[in-house]
Amino acid sequence: MWTQQEQQELTQILKKYPADRKMSAVLPALYLAQREKNWLTDEDIEAVAEALDISPTHVHSVIGFYTLFRKEPTGKYLIQVCTDLPCALRGAEAFYQRLCQRLGLSPPGGTTADGLFTVEEVVCIAACDKAPCAQINLEYYENLTDEQMDGVIEQLRKQG
Ligand code: FES
């Protein structure tokens, strides 16, 4: 499952850990496995387990602990909009609903038919005073307007 490039990177990652402690590399290995498509298949999880000489169950347990690892099909761009109370008071819920509509998704969100965008609501991302705010693949976007969000989406579509 690893590409040649990923295999090289995995080898570099493993060099940072003692040979009998390969399991310590589980987070960077999972990050590498997820990087290209933004989520982890069972095949990815088994490949990580095999590379680190641990069980797939162990890898699953790590994934279950970290919300940034995803086991469901996810778009290339993961748009996470905070709709927690402080942001809701600044219009984040309505902003989120409009974003879903413009991407052809029904709340509570989901993935666009072309697989490019996954949209979901999240709780506080520590930008409460700059709502509406979002993370797109962990990059922050703050004080968003519908027009700005349209521009960001258009830009990401161009990047493909
Ligand atoms: S409540 Fe939305 S960023 Fe804190």
Q: Could you tell me which of 7, 55, 49 has the C-alpha nearest to residue 26?
A: 49
- pLDDT tens for 24-76 read 999 999 999 999 999 999 999 999 999 999 999 999 999 999 988 999 999 99
Q: What digits encode the pLDDT tens for the residues 93-137?
A: 999 999 999 999 998 999 999 999 999 999 999 999 999 999 999
Instruction: Kindly give the distance from the C-alpha atom of residue 131 to the centroid of ligand 1, in angstroms, as a whole number.
Output: 7
Give the number of the atom of ligand 1 that is nearest the alpha carbon of residue 130. Answer: 3
Is the separation of the CB atoms in 120 and 70 below 8 Å? no
Q: Is the CB of 125 under 6 A from ligand 1?
A: yes
- Flag whether pLDDT at 1 surpasses 90: no
Q: Which domains does the chain have, with CATH numbers?
A: 4-65 (1.10.10.1590), 77-159 (3.40.30.10)
Please give the model's pTM, rounded to 2 decimal places. 0.85
Say yes or no: CB of residue 134 within 6 Å of ligand 1: no
Tell me how far apart the alpha carbons of residues 135 and 27 are, in angstroms, rounded to a whole number.
21
CB-neighbour burial class of residue 100 (10 A; exposed 0-12, middle 13-18, buried 19+): buried
* Ligand 1 pocket mutation pick from 82, 83, 129 by most atoms within 8 angstroms of CB: 82
Cβ atoms of residues 83 and 128 within 8 Å? no
Tokens read off for 41: 């298949």
The rounded percent of the chain whose pLDDT value lies above 90 is 95
SS3 state of residue 96: helix
> From ligand 1's centre to the CA of 133, what distance in Å?
8
Sign of CA dihedral 145, 151, 157, 159: negative
CA 110 distance to own-chain centroid:
13
Q: Retrieve residue 54's tokens.
A: 């641990």
Long-range contacts of 108-115 (CB under 8 A, 24+ apart): 111/73, 111/74, 111/75, 112/75, 115/73, 115/75, 115/76
Atom of ligand 1 nearest to the CA of 86: 1
Amino acid letter, residue 25: A
Q: What is the pLDDT of residue 79?
A: 97
Is 49 in contact with 40 (CB distance < 8 Å)? no
SS3 40: coil
Cβ of 86 below 6 Å from ligand 1? yes
Judge if the beta carbon of residue 133 lies within 6 A of ligand 1. Answer: yes
